[in-house]
């Protein structure tokens, strides 16, 4: 099975992907995570992508698509992939469909999460991630026992460079400007499942089995 998680920044795609990957036996591929690793490692792709990410814009299709399709087509993803943050444009969606078709695969479902903008901004600006083990926190909803220290490994918690309020709002505007053609593309294939992302993490997770069997 090949699944795509879609929706605005902060809606909970990464959070739900982490819960779903083991349950469904799929490999979680987050293009945002892969790009952030390239930025940290100062690769040519990271250097080309960094400015777009800091401004809250999309990284150009020709850079992201090659990177994402390499992963989707790799041996470890043959049994199925859980895509988070890709495809984000119609060109990326068409390229993904073509690459999957070459392996007799297709996008089986697109889970499309939504939530009100004020809630999304609150989730993004309060997000913290462990610099050691990558565990996720939120200053209001999932605070660590000791401020800015990971409960699991004791390393410092960090805030993503694009999670300040101005950049979060820029990312939400970019999403509003670019998501519709992708949604229409997968709606016409009959694979979109809409899920309300406003509840707690557990409440949203509980909606997914029904959505995926719809
Ligand atoms: P990316 O990393 O994909 O960021 P995003 O789409 O903006 O999504 P986020 O990771 O911010 O949010 P999420 O929905 O995963 O929420 P999360 O679960 O973390 O992309 C970053 C950048 O990379 C882009 O801006 C772009 O520049 C570039 N990029 C990436 N892919 C690209 C592509 N295909 N094409 C072009 N450019 C690309 O949750 C957020 C917070 O809320 C957390 O603190 C979490 O604990 C909390 N939370 C989650 N769910 C709940 C809940 N139900 N209740 C309470 N709190 C919750």
Q: How many whole angstroms from 86 Cα to the centroid of ligand 1?
A: 11
Handedness of CA 4, 29, 68, 86 (dihedral sign): positive
Q: How many whole angstroms from 94 Cα to the centroid of ligand 1?
A: 22
pLDDT given at position 186: 98
| Rounded distance between C-alpha atoms, residue 168 and residue 160, angstroms | 10
Between the alpha carbon of residue 180 and those of residues 24, 32, 167, 176, the distances in Å are 28, 20, 21, 8
Cβ(55)–Cβ(170) under 8 Å?
A: yes
Q: How many whole angstroms from 6 Cα to the centroid of ligand 1?
A: 10
pLDDT given at position 3: 97
Which residue has a Cα nearest atom 1 of ligand 1? 32
| Rounded distance between C-alpha atoms, residue 121 and residue 185, angstroms | 27
Per-residue model confidence as pLDDT tens digits over 13-67: 999 999 999 889 999 999 999 999 999 999 999 999 999 999 999 999 999 999 9
171 is catalytic: yes
| Rounded distance between C-alpha atoms, residue 19 and residue 195, angstroms | 15
Please state the pTM of the whole predicted model: 0.95
User: What is the average pLDDT value for the chain, to the nearest integer?
Assistant: 96
Cβ(202)–Cβ(15) under 8 Å?
A: no
User: Of 55, 160, 169, 183, which residue is the catalytic one?
Assistant: 160
pLDDT (mean) for 88-92? 97
């Amino acid at each position: 099975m090949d699944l795509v998680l879609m929706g605005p920044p902060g809606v909970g795609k990464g959070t739900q992907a982490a819960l779903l990957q083991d349950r469904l036996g799929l490999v979680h591929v987050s293009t945002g995570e892969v790009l952030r690793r390239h930025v940290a490692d100062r690769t040519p792709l990271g250097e080309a992508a960094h400015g777009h990410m800091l401004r809250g814009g999309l990284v150009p299709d020709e850079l992201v698509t090659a990177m994402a399709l390499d992963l989707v087509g790799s041996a470890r993803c043959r049994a199925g992939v859980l895509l988070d943050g890709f495809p984000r444009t119609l060109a990326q969606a068409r390229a993904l469909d073509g690459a999957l078709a070459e392996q007799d695969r297709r996008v089986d479902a697109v889970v499309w999460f939504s939530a009100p903008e004020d809630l999304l901004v609150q989730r993004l600006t309060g997000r913290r991630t462990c610099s050691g083990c990558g565990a996720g926190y939120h200053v209001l909803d999932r605070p660590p026992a000791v401020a800015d220290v990971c409960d699991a490994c004791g390393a410092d918690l960090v805030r993503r460079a694009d999670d300040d309020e101005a950049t979060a709002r820029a990312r939400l505007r970019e999403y509003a400007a670019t998501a519709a053609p992708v949604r229409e593309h997968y709606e016409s294939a009959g694979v979109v499942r809409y899920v309300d992302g406003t509840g707690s993490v557990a409440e949203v997770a509980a909606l997914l089995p029904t959505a995926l069997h719809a």
